[in-house]
């Protein structure tokens, strides 16, 4: 669930839950109190007890009305009135009987009051209707019935219902409800705040921790997203950033190591021919080369070493330019068939001297047009063919160049029947300065830059380069070039 949804939901719950809980609490409280009220009146609890009290009251009042009209003198009878009183007490009601302004009967609890002041005079109010009256501190509902005794004296019977207990209870219920509502609000807000903040604070705490770890240089501290919301996304983004940072630091370290290795390799490769040249020059100067033939041999060797040096410096220069992307490529449309035919013609002469034949097979090509930098591609072909001839161990050397078409590219394979490359070395031969142990110990010169240059040039052509080889049998170097539709 997204954090936004969770927030909206929590707001809704924060609004709805207190309402529902308040309704439930109010219902429970009403039921409990209604039961209590019903109990206090001695009723069975069924429905509204106030209504029941009113009905019973009405019944009793109707009875007294009948008695007052049919047999009014009974209302002078103390015994009758005491019995009536007992019945009325159950309804929280008291009775008062007045004859000509004299109160001849009143309930015990009313005796201490001056009822004359409160009770309406004979005929001054409508009989039977309810009136609100304050008796002492008690709130009451009062109704009365005027009548005449048989001796024509004016009689009034009053029913006074004490509302105070019910009102006190209502007051208590209202107070309790306020407390309950307050508790419900505190509880729902507390619980929801806890749940919402748990989803935010904990991950933020973890993130803070992770940031501190990174600051201290520990890039291994993994942050796992605990949820799928925005906070989870933040954790994922943070984790991605950590991984990227780690990778970039590792890469940096690798670059640094490569740089050190490069400097050590360059110094070594430059030093070897220079030491040889120095040795031969010393030989001449010291007179070791004492015959003209010897001197010539020395000078020829010096020349060869200087050429090696020159070649190495050229390669280094080219590679460093390629590596720094400082070399501009001039791409032109070329017919690869014709291009390779020219190359083969050019290279064949030199190879024939070493008894190596160079063949070209372009049969499978229908669209020979590719976009290449002429000069750089020549470097690629020369470097690969040079390797094939340099690492040739067969009497009859064979180099086959084969072209194949695949979707929008041409695959060029340069296959030799030379010494081959050990399996474990194949993935490394395109690395700069990489030479197999065999070629390091052999007499073949080289710096290990040839194939690294090939790889960079092919990459600039948006192509791929790879090798297949079998020790003792030979090697195939493949590379691809993108074709252009004619
Ligand atoms: P450079 O080309 O810079 O003079 P190099 O030939 O040693 O030196 P690369 O051309 O990069 O360097 O080749 C890397 C290594 O791969 C070589 O040293 C050699 O061990 C191996 N290798 C490359 N091509 C062949 C091949 N056709 N047959 C056998 N081994 C090869
Ligand atoms: Mg080479």
Per-residue pLDDT reduced to its tens digit, 173-203 = 899 999 999 999 999 999 988 887 877 888 8
Dist. CA 420–CA 388, nearest whole Å: 9
Q: How far is CA 279 from CA 270, 286, 420, 451, in A?
A: 15, 10, 34, 31
Quick one: 350 and 407 in the same domain? yes
Query: pTM higher than 0.75, yes or no?
Result: no
pLDDT in tens, 106-144: 887 777 677 777 788 888 888 877 777 777 777 788 889
Q: What is the pLDDT of residue 175?
A: 94
Q: Which atom of ligand 1 is nearest to the CA of 451?
A: 11
Looking at all shown ligands, the one closest to residue 418's CA atom is 1
Q: How much distance in Å is there from the Cα of 276 to the middle of ligand 1?
A: 23
Dist. CA 23–CA 315, nearest whole Å: 89
Q: Which atom of ligand 1 is nearest to the CA of 438?
A: 20
Looking at all shown ligands, the one closest to residue 421's CA atom is 1
Quick one: 266 and 288 in the same domain? yes
Q: Which atom of ligand 1 is nearest to the CA of 448?
A: 12
- The pick from 307, 383, 446, 466 for probing ligand 1's pocket by mutation, whose C-beta has the most ligand atoms within 8 angstroms, reads 446
Looking at all shown ligands, the one closest to residue 475's CA atom is 1
Has residue 241 got a pLDDT over 90? yes
- The pick from 435, 438, 456, 477 for probing ligand 1's pocket by mutation, whose C-beta has the most ligand atoms within 8 angstroms, reads 435
Which residue has the CA at smallest separation from atom 10 of ligand 1?
450
- The pick from 388, 423, 431, 448 for probing ligand 1's pocket by mutation, whose C-beta has the most ligand atoms within 8 angstroms, reads 448
Has residue 440 got a pLDDT over 60? no
pLDDT in tens, 473-486: 999 999 999 999 86
Has residue 412 got a pLDDT over 60? yes
Has residue 444 got a pLDDT over 70? no
Of 186, 203, 220, which residue is a domain's last? Answer: 203
The answer to whether residue 213 sits within a structural domain is no
Q: How much distance in Å is there from the Cα of 409 to the middle of ligand 2?
A: 25
Q: Which of 234, 180, 246, 165 is nearest to 205 (CA)?
A: 234
Cβ atoms of 301 and 282 within 8 Å: the answer is no
Q: How many CB atoms lie within 10 A of CB 7?
A: 14
Q: How many CB atoms lie within 10 A of CB 398?
A: 16
For the chain, give the number of residues.
486
Quick one: 89 and 13 in the same domain? no
Has residue 441 got a pLDDT over 60? no
Q: How much distance in Å is there from the Cα of 369 to the middle of ligand 2?
A: 28
- The pick from 316, 385, 391 for probing ligand 1's pocket by mutation, whose C-beta has the most ligand atoms within 8 angstroms, reads 391
pLDDT in tens, 345-356: 999 999 999 999
Has residue 99 got a pLDDT over 60? yes
Q: How much distance in Å is there from the Cα of 449 to the middle of ligand 1?
A: 8
The answer to whether residue 429 sits within a structural domain is yes
Quick one: 362 and 387 in the same domain? yes
| Residue written as token pair 């942050």 | 223
| Confidence category of residue 67, pLDDT binned at 50, 70, 90 | very high
Dist. CA 363–CA 366, nearest whole Å: 8
Of 138, 162, 186, which residue is a domain's last? Answer: 162
Element (H, E) at 296: helix 292-323
The residue-averaged pLDDT of 206-216 equals 90
Quick one: 197 and 241 in the same domain? no
Q: Which atom of ligand 1 is nearest to the CA of 452?
A: 11
Quick one: 346 and 313 in the same domain? no
Per residue in 150-181, is it b (16+ CB within 10 Å) or e — as a string? eeeeebbbbbbbbeeebeeeeeeeeeeeeebb
Which residue has the CA at smallest separation from atom 7 of ligand 1?
448
Q: Which two tokens stand for residue 403?
A: 């072209």
Which residue has the CA at smallest separation from atom 24 of ligand 1?
387
Element (H, E) at 205: helix 164-215
Dist. CA 88–CA 79, nearest whole Å: 14
Quick one: 406 and 359 in the same domain? yes
The answer to whether residue 216 sits within a structural domain is no
Quick one: 344 and 421 in the same domain? yes
Q: What is the pLDDT of residue 228?
A: 78
The pairing of beta strand 356-361 with beta strand 397-406: parallel
Which residue has the CA at smallest separation from atom 12 of ligand 1?
448
Q: Which two tokens stand for residue 252?
A: 């940096």
Q: How much distance in Å is there from the Cα of 202 to the middle of ligand 2?
A: 59
Range of the domain at 313: 230-319
Has residue 385 got a pLDDT over 80? yes
Q: Which atom of ligand 1 is nearest to the CA of 392?
A: 28
| Confidence category of residue 389, pLDDT binned at 50, 70, 90 | very high
Q: Which two tokens stand for residue 315?
A: 């390669």
The answer to whether residue 212 sits within a structural domain is no
The answer to whether residue 97 sits within a structural domain is yes
The answer to whether residue 66 sits within a structural domain is no
pLDDT in tens, 25-48: 999 988 888 787 777 776 666 667
Q: Which two tokens stand for residue 112?
A: 């201490």
Q: How much distance in Å is there from the Cα of 429 to the middle of ligand 1?
A: 7
Q: Which of 245, 247, 188 is nearest to 215 (CA)?
A: 245
Q: What is the pLDDT of residue 268?
A: 82
Q: Which atom of ligand 1 is nearest to the CA of 311?
A: 4
Looking at all shown ligands, the one closest to residue 435's CA atom is 1
Taking only Cα atoms into account, the Rg of the chain, rounded to an integer number of angstroms, comes to 57
Q: Which two tokens stand for residue 154?
A: 């004016």
pLDDT in tens, 160-176: 887 777 778 888 889 99
CATH of the domain at 404: 3.30.565.10
Q: What is the pLDDT of residue 400?
A: 97
CATH of the domain at 311: 1.10.287.130
Quick one: 341 and 474 in the same domain? yes
The residue-averaged pLDDT of 372-393 equals 94
Q: How much distance in Å is there from the Cα of 448 to the middle of ligand 1?
A: 6
Q: What percent of the chain has pLDDT over 70?
A: 96
The answer to whether residue 256 sits within a structural domain is yes
Looking at all shown ligands, the one closest to residue 448's CA atom is 1
CATH of the domain at 109: 3.30.450
The answer to whether residue 64 sits within a structural domain is no
Residues flanking ligand 1, CB < 6 Å: 315, 383, 387-388, 390-391, 416, 418-421, 429, 434-436, 439, 446-452, 475
Number of domains in the chain: 4
Quick one: 93 and 38 in the same domain? no
Helix (H, G, I), strand (E, B) or coil at 404: strand
Of 162, 191, 219, which residue is a domain's last? Answer: 162
Q: What is the pLDDT of residue 269?
A: 80
Has residue 308 got a pLDDT over 90? no
| Confidence category of residue 72, pLDDT binned at 50, 70, 90 | very high
Quick one: 239 and 144 in the same domain? no
Q: Which of 38, 62, 65 is nearest to 52 (CA)?
A: 38
Quick one: 108 and 254 in the same domain? no
Q: What is the pLDDT of residue 326?
A: 81
DSSP state of 125: S
- What average pLDDT does the chain have? 88
């Amino acid at each position: 669930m997204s954090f936004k949804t969770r927030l909206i939901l929590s707001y809704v719950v924060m609004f709805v839950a207190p309402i529902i809980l308040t309704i439930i609490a109010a219902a429970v409280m009403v039921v409990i109190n209604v039961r209590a009220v019903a109990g206090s009146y001695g009723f069975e609890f069924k429905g509204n007890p106030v209504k029941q009290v009113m009905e019973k009251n009405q019944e009793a009042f109707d009875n007294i009305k009948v008695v007052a009209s049919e047999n009014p003198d009974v209302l002078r009878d103390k015994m009758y009135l005491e019995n009536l009183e007992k019945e009325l007490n159950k309804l929280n009601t008291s009775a008062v009987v007045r004859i000509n302004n004299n109160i001849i009967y009143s309930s015990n609890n009313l005796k201490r009051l001056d009822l004359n002041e409160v009770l309406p005079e004979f005929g001054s109010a409508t009989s039977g209707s309810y009136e609100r009256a304050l008796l002492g501190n008690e709130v009451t509902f009062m109704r009365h019935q005027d009548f005449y005794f048989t001796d024509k004296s004016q009689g009034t019977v009053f029913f006074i219902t004490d509302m105070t207990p019910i009102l006190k209870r209502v007051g208590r219920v209202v107070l309790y409800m306020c407390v309950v509502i307050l508790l419900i609000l505190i509880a729902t807000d507390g619980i929801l705040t806890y749940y919402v903040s748990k989803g935010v604070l904990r991950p933020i705490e973890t993130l803070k921790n992770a940031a501190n770890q990174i600051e201290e240089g520990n890039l291994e501290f993994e942050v796992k997203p605990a949820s799928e919301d925005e906070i989870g996304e933040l954790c994922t983004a943070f984790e991605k950033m950590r991984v990227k940072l780690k990778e970039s630091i590792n890469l940096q370290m690798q670059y640094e190591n490569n740089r050190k290795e490069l400097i050590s390799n360059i110094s070594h490769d430059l030093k070897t021919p220079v030491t040889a040249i120095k040795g031969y020059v010393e030989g001449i100067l010291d007179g070791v080369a004492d015959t003209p033939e010897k001197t010539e041999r020395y000078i020829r060797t010096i020349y060869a070493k200087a050429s090696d040096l020159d070649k190495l410096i050229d390669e280094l220069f080219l590679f460093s330019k390629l590596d720094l992307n400082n070399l501009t490529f001039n791409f032109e449309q070329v017919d690869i068939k014709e291009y390779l035919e020219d190359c083969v013609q050019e290279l064949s002469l030199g190879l024939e001297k070493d008894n190596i034949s160079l063949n070209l097979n372009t049969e499978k090509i229908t669209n020979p047009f590719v976009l290449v930098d002429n000069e750089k591609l020549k470097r690629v072909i020369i470097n690969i063919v040079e390797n094939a001839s340099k690492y040739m161990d067969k009497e009859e050397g064979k180099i086959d160049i084969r072209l194949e078409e695949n979707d929008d590219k041409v695959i060029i394979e340069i296959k030799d029947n030379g010494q081959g490359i050990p399996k474990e070395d194949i993935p490394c031969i395109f690395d700069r300065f990489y030479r197999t142990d065999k070629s390091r110990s052999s007499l073949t010169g080289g710096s290990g830059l040839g194939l690294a240059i090939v790889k960079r040039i092919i990459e600039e052509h948006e192509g791929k380069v790879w090798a297949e080889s079998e020790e003792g049998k030979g090697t195939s170097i493949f590379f691809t070039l993108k074709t252009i539709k004619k």
